[in-house]
Structure 1
């Protein structure tokens, strides 16, 4: 089935994120796009024709305690590090270096989904997710996005909602 913007319903191998959603019986829609390497979430939304305000990126941060945290925020916003640290009970948090993302999550930059990481990390969704029934997140591979119900994402990731963005 084709969608506007050249999106196709994927008939390819499932990602960990898709398998987890299926095990939890959470409906989702797969959107694929052509991309040879990392592109940011704004370009992904434009390629797939998805609303930017409903499209979220997954960021990995490390606290002063050396614990890792997952933050799911709108693609056009940045994490407010003080608010993020407060949300997870840390003194401070910093972005994990790009070279560390795969080691920590099992995913590559640009294909990092909040679902199906190597370990279950504390996952915080920006409070803006409450504005939507469904949001778009990475499907766990570059070239794959998923449209997933917010409540299903929160349940599956054991996510919490907090105001963690700047601006």
Structure 2
């Protein structure tokens, strides 16, 4: 079954591959998804929801095995300070549940920041908007689809 994220890519004529993996609701770590897909952790990207003190909500797309560099994201997003939003707010802001958040098709259009490490791969895996489904897509076309800004935001 296609997700809204997949439909958005199709509407923009962006090629992608839909990948499926078994979900363990007790372990939603992006690294587990990478392991189940047989992909390096660096090639699978998770989408984190953050809030800046000036610009409000934004999305940070970083490798599965990385931590978000809050200072770098603040600088890139023209904020003095950025924090990840509490988990209880994620679904209300994005329309997606933990383990299925994607920058494609959120409830509102938020600024998207993609870690520069994505550019070292021909294709990266990002959430398709549903647990257990990932989109394998070119980082360049993904950046275009989400109107993202590329920069060093991961540690």
Same fold (TM over 0.5): yes
CA distance in 2, matches of 1:65, 1:53: 30
Matched, 1:20 2:8: yes
Q: Which runs of 5+ in 2 are unaligned?
A: none
Identify which range, 23-32 or 60-69, moves more after superposition: 60-69
User: Which of 21, 30, 34 is the matching residue for 1:33?
Assistant: 21
Q: Deviations over 1:80-119 (max 9, x none)?
A: 1111100100011000111100000000000001211111
Q: Which has the higher strand share?
A: 1
Match of 2:143 in 1: 154
TM-score by length of 2: 0.95
CA distance in 2, matches of 1:65, 1:160: 17
Match of 1:118 in 2: 107
Q: Deviations over 1:125-155 (max 9, x none)?
A: 0111111121001110001011011111111
TM-score by length of 1: 0.89
Q: State how many pairs are aligned.
A: 154
Q: Which runs of 5+ in 1 are unaligned?
A: 1-12
Q: CA deviation at 1:65?
A: 2.6
CA distance in 2, matches of 1:53, 1:61: 21
RMSD: 1.1
